[in-house]
Amino acid sequence: MVVGRVQGVGFRYFVVQHAHMLGLHGYVRNDSNGDVEVVAQGTRSKLEQLLTLLQQGPPSAQVHDVQTIWREPTEHVSGFHIRW
């Protein structure tokens, strides 16, 4: 979960762009409380690269925290997309 000023600033599109470049699978979506949820599958090193990017976010975002839970995938997700 990405916490801060992360909705209405292009954060989801930022995540999709970088996840594609890293070859990750998963999705990103806005949470009703103003946070952004990111579920990503890939190698540990690529996921760590994404975490670094999430902590920065796009220029207009203000990320206060990135809450991370590591676990084995429970479903196969193809591609990386925005969920509504």
Enumerate the active-site residues.
12, 30
What tokens does 11 get?
């954060």
d(CA 25, CA 4) in angstroms, rounded, equals: 24
**Which regions of the chain does DSSP assign to beta strands (E)?**
2-5, 25-30, 36-41, 62-66, 80-82
Closest CA to 38 of 60, 62, 65, 59: 65
